[in-house]
Structure 1
Amino acid sequence: MLRKYSNHRTQSDNVKLGALTAFSAGMVNVTSVTVFFAFTSNITGYYAVLAQEVSKGNWYQGAVVLLWITLFFLGSFLSNLVIIQGKGRWSQYISHAIPVILELLSILFVGIYLEFFYQNSLKETEILVGALLFAMGLQNGLTASISNSVVKTTHLTGLTTDLAILVSMFSKRENRHNQGLVNKFHLLLSIMMSYVAGGLFGGIGYLYFQNGVFYLTCVILMVIAFYDFYKIGRVKRLFERRKREVLVQDS
């Protein structure tokens, strides 16, 4: 999922990454709405809230919303910065895994703080919402960067528009046999369904696990981060075994 970059990625790579990250984003968003009454997987609405608060002269509230937007921006910025600066210094897999680990740590921080320290104050809520927005910025920046903007999983506005455009294009018979369009349709549909499924899981899971839902999200992110580590190790073992077999045959 994380080893390959841009046009070297396969449809399977993008579907796996898109589905799992969308599932985790759906979980985070629904859980944050349940706990904080705030959306955290996208910032579209916060631009409107920012304008509204400033127009009313609510400078503190406007500053908080601006901070949230900035944190999402910084998350996306940091993801791409790590990927760009990591080229030539680390392996491609490590460069792509670092943003996932940072996202995991941000969400883990929120879960632990809610579990042991949260006093339900406005200041705490503002900080924790900011941490989740930072995490979602990291995720969206990562998926968009390594997939050449094919995979975006923290919000569905553009995705729903793209999906509607594709469905309209399928009204022409020749487009139904265009493998590129069909693959894109399957990818977008899998992201949308995974996001909704993650939201349902987060909402139902909160009834049983409460703040533990954030820990479950971290487990999914661990799968994303270490899946390719396992694959890399398996490939290396197969390569070494094949090398030994060749040496035995030559001897």
Structure 2
Amino acid sequence: MAFSAGMVNVISVIIFFAFTSNVTGHYAVLAEEIAKGNWYQAGVVASWILLFFFGGFIANIIIINFNKTHTYLAHSIPIILEIICLLIVGSYIQFYYKESLVETEILVGLMLFAMGIQNGLTASISNSAVKTTHLTGLTTDLGMLFSMFTKKEYRAKKELRAKAKVQLAIMFSYLLGGVSAGLIYLNIAYNVFYIVSLFLIIVIAYDFYRLRVAKYVSANQPFLRIHYYGRNKKRKNKSGELQKV
């Protein structure tokens, strides 16, 4: 997910000269436009922020309503919505885009909505421990973790080391996704949106595999436990001899 977010952000910078995987910079632009009295521009940026917000809202409301009963649907529906948004943007750019300001504003908003969905999904299913569309908080957390690792008692804690590994994996995946998007764009231009969608489909397929295997193991656990102990456990019978049970 971080890899795909890195791709999307670099694509949007190359094509639209705008960041779409986070809204930190957009808040600064919003404040600037309000201060200058540019109300149209302020309205556009405010709508971008609201679309990112609404993406997170949609993802989380799906999770809290379906995660307990239909876990796979709860995970896959937000990603499918994200794929649809990216395919709309990619197809429109490829066949209809005339590089007008209104078109750019709408397409950037749609990409921000898609990234809001992804960020809301990953944050929701990880209890806000993981966010994949931006690295501000993650870089801060890594700085704090590495400062803790200067002391032996913190280096000995497995949970802190595991957390650092996850965050480093997200950081490098995001960076690798951005580099890949730049290289792919130089060769196949706007088709890069389809490549991003392909990576998200792989995420859905992997999630399906993991959930299906976990469900199978859970459903067959009593049988597996009985089968295991039946083959290995022994006890004495009435005559005092050991026998398998």
* Residues 1-251 of structure 1: pairs in structure 2 closer than 5 A: 21-87=1-67, 90-233=69-212
Structure 2 CA distance for partners of 1:211 and 1:229, relative to 1, 3 Å: same
TM-score normalized by structure 2? 0.86
Cα offset for 1:228? 2.4
CA distance in 1, matches of 2:103, 2:96: 10
Extract unaligned runs of 5+ from structure 2.
228-245
Q: CA deviation digits over 1:173-227, x for unaligned, max 9? A: 1211100100000011000001110010011111001111111100011011121
Cα offset for 1:233? 4.6
Cα offset for 1:96? 1.5
Identical-pair percentage? 55
SS of 1:39's partner is coil
CA distance in 2, matches of 1:103, 1:206: 20
CA distance in 2, matches of 1:175, 1:237: 38
CA distance in 1, matches of 2:172, 2:59: 25
Q: CA deviation digits over 1:124-175, x for unaligned, max 9? A: 0000000000000000000000001111011111100000000000000121
Structure 2 CA distance for partners of 1:66 and 1:235, relative to 1, 3 Å: closer
**Higher relative contact order (CA closer than 8 Å, sequence separation 6+):** 1
Cα offset for 1:107? 0.7
Q: CA deviation digits over 1:34-62, x for unaligned, max 9? A: 00000000000100100100111110000
SS of 1:211's partner is helix
Cα offset for 1:112? 0.6
Matching residue's letter, 2:42 = G
Matching residue's letter, 2:158 = Q
CA distance in 2, matches of 1:141, 1:114: 26
Cα offset for 1:85? 1.8
Extract unaligned runs of 5+ from structure 1.
1-20, 247-251
Decide which structure has the larger Cα Rg and report it.
2
CA distance in 2, matches of 1:44, 1:84: 26
SS of 2:127's partner is coil
8 Å contact kept, 2:82–2:118: yes
Matching residue's letter, 1:54 = I
Matching residue's letter, 1:187 = V
Partner in structure 1 of residue 240 of structure 2:
none
Matching residue's letter, 2:175 = V
Structure 2 CA distance for partners of 1:159 and 1:87, relative to 1, 3 Å: closer
| Worse overlay, 227-236 or 137-146 | 227-236
CA distance in 2, matches of 1:235, 1:99: 21
Paired residues, what number? 223
Matching residue's letter, 1:189 = L
SS of 2:21's partner is coil
SS of 2:129's partner is coil
